[in-house]
Structure 1
Amino acid sequence: MSTITTQQALQHNRPKRPKTPFFHRRWVVALVFMLPFLVLFGVFRVYAVGYAVVLSFQDIEGIGVSEWSGFSNYRRLFSDSTFFTALRNTALYTAGTLLVLVPVPFVLAAVLQSKLVARQAALRSAFFLPV
């Protein structure tokens, strides 16, 4: 009767390795799960933005009637003073909104977490009640 060493016994009972590497199988599974998002993102974002860029180079009058105008739409846009007024107003609105909407939640969170505020439970209830 022959004796089998422990190392030989472990090698014999070890399951067979799959033909494809482990990371490759995981990558395929991840891609299958991401595929619906990628398809929808491609259709509703990439295609839509690309089509909008193509349309921006055309002069469209009416339904289905369009003529290639090149950069004339952009020349007209950048020569219009109303565009720069609207751009300035948008920048001011964005800056003002960010200056209010970023620090105010931090201050409210600090107040709600503070141990120095009297009636902390009542303040939290009043703050979160509308939610």
Structure 2
Amino acid sequence: MLDYLRESADERAIRREHTKREKERRKRRIHKYGQMELKHSRRGCISCMLAVLSAFLLVSIFSVSYLRHGDVNILIGIAGLLALVLAVSGLRRGIEGFKERNKNYITCKVGTACNGILLLIYLAIFIRGLF
């Protein structure tokens, strides 16, 4: 009876060791040096896209305002507020992207930095417009 219990414990240990080895084999088989390739953070990618969209809105607002010599309607102001909201949302998404595990955080860093700079630009424009 004890031999049976020992044997089953030994079998369990062998099975655990086998699964560890199998995981290592899969990891090595996927990539050349045995390390998994890290994917980009999903929220970081969204943050970068929001930064690009916000910057595009900023450039288009400046272009329209320049072409009309400053005589623009309320739609340009609404687009400016939308761009501000996009920058804040992108900043939030970029910061949340750092919480994702086992990801490449370069998109989070780039998205957070770009959205932070755009947010500062928008705040400077709005504060300058008040005074």
TM-score range, shorter chain: under 0.3
- In the superposition, the TM-score normalised over structure 1's length comes to 0.26
- In the superposition, the TM-score normalised over structure 2's length comes to 0.26
**Larger Cα Rg: Structure 1 or Structure 2?**
1
Q: Which has the higher contact order (CA 8 A, sep 6+)?
A: 2
